A = this chain, B = another copy of it.
């Protein structure tokens, strides 16, 4: 099957509100691998084109550190590619390998996050993280209760509640504004991440910072579960918190009188521990670049 046109991939990337950052990053790697596999040769012109495409993909969803991270890792391979040897297969394999490592890292996160949860716990979470969904699926019959913020404007929390319902996991959906009523009674807060910044601060769906402030106030542990691939590369462009279409708010108001910033930054001192594929870190543990 021929590779999807790059413009189509970009369009999907821009519109996608369903898939998490890791899944989108793996889709981008798959596309790059397939695009290279279709070529007999990767010459300087192709490399320049690939560099441009990587740059465009990273710029499209700037809050998603894992996209920048995985594509940057693959670009290292691209830069050290020897055109005279022209081992195109190695580049393709590199993309596939990074994608597999990314999935393994998620599995590792889930394993370590699970160790923090005892039967009967009440967990509080925000938005929809594919990593946390994998974790929650392992909480069937543990008598845990999950409280989920709806996560306006598109209410990804409702999707989480429906899935938990299918799994017979007791859950309560709340408006984002109610988060401060639940941190005093929850055993812990767990959220995923779109990006981890160099100091351990976390970029995640907007509302996460308020939840973390309430958790700290109420002495409720606040855990961020995110594979190390979500650490933004030092070379990444300056962080921009994505603004989405204010029509998503669904209010009958002039558009210039609404704001729809999708992400916020939760400072490192609000975070009790970072959970990644290497374990549970009480101090932020940056990867080596």
Contacts and interface: CB of A to CB of B under 8 A. Distances in A.
A254 interface: yes
Nearest to A241: B181
A252 B155 CA distance: 11
A251 B158 contact: yes
Nearest to A127: B177
Interface residues of A, number: 41
Contact of A179 (B150, B210, B249): B210
B253 A210 contact: no
Interface string A156-189: 0010011001000001111111111100000000
A260 interface: yes
A173 B249 contact: yes
Nearest to A252: B158
B210 A172 contact: no
Contact of A174 (B155, B165, B259): B259
A153 B175 contact: yes
Chain A at the B interface: SS class: mixed
A172 to B, nearest CB: 5
Contacts of A241: 181
Contacts of A205: 177
A44 B253 CA distance: 55
Given A257-B171, A257-B173, A180 B210 contact: yes
Interface of A: 149-153, 155, 158, 161-162, 165, 171-181, 205-207, 209-210, 213-214, 217, 241, 249, 251-254, 257-261, 264
16 contacts: A155-B251, A172-B259, A176-B177, A177-B205, A177-B206, A177-B210, A177-B264, A178-B206, A178-B261, A178-B264, A180-B206, A180-B207, A180-B210, A180-B264, A209-B214, A213-B217
